[in-house]
Amino acid sequence: MKSYNVLSLFSGCGGLDLGFKKQGFNIIKAVDNDPTVIETYRKNIGDHIECLDIKEFNGLLYKNIDVIIGGPPCQGFSLASNLVRNFKDDPRNYLYKEYIRIIEEIKPKIFLMENVKNFLNFNSGKFKDDIIEHFKNIGYNIEYKIIKTVEYGIPQKRERVFFVGTLFNNNFIFIEKSVVKKTIYDVIFDLETKPYDSLWNHVPMNHSEQMLLKMSYVKEGKGRECIPEELKPKTGDVRKYIRLDRNKPSFCITTDNRKIFHYLFNRALTIRELARIQTFPDNFIFYGNRSSQEKQIGNAVPPQLSEKFAKKIKEYLNE
């Protein structure tokens, strides 16, 4: 069976790439501008990644690419970001134009682009329509779909939009939903009795006494409403100070999970537990400090979800 060449843009630590690699795709080049994620990617996936500003990337040098994958930064599209009100002030929100430029230069048979769900609604949907029009103008048929990861066997309530562009026809069929629904307990319960040094990245946080006191009041599946008024945080993200429910999928793993508590223990989840919820294998090691590791995991596409897309894309290319 033919091996297909992939270019990965905005690669991060490699969640999307890992799924394609497992499906036999040949990732010949990956690009990101964060040195820390570069180290994680290189040591887990390969040396083909380059630390580079995407604006410096010359797609004209890569004409043997079958598939382009990646997700331009989404800070300005996220509902959790203050940048929604200051979209024009952050140059990262326009990096999708570089994604379009590179696709136009290379003209792959198919591309996969991922972003936050609010990408579709930004500026009353006109932003999404404009991007689709750009892709159509360079010859692509576009399909998009909001993927709720919990419906695809991922133990997490995560919603992302995936765009698929095909150069010659539009018969791409999106991935099928899974009949198996997983809870957080399904994927991390065995770590309850394992020593913290038995796995890479399985190290608990050192919480302050005040934080330990606050979290001690929060019951399983509940939130800050359990904390006494004199201790209750008055500001901050309402999705924080929550204890997970072992019988349900996890909340969406973000780039900061310090105030999301383990269903059983008085602590935040370890990096390894977060990685398992994102479906990274235990032999995938994250580098950098804890803050960087959380960002790497939170920004990643779950590898098991990526592998489902990779399988579908391979079927499409083999038709």
Active site residues: 74
Helix (H) or strand (E) holding 197: none
CA distance 75 to 92: 8
Six-digit token pair at 198? 């038995």
Six-digit token pair at 199? 């796995």
81 class by beta-carbon count within 10 Å (0-12 exposed, 13-18 middle, 19+ buried): middle
Q: Are 161 and 114 in contact (CB under 8 A)?
A: yes
CA-based nearest residue to 241, from 215, 219, 220: 215
CA distance 286 to 307: 20
The three-class DSSP label of residue 191 is: helix
CA-based nearest residue to 95, from 75, 122, 81: 75
87 class by beta-carbon count within 10 Å (0-12 exposed, 13-18 middle, 19+ buried): middle
Helix (H) or strand (E) holding 147: strand 141-148
Helix (H) or strand (E) holding 212: helix 209-217
CA-based nearest residue to 103, from 76, 139, 73, 77: 139
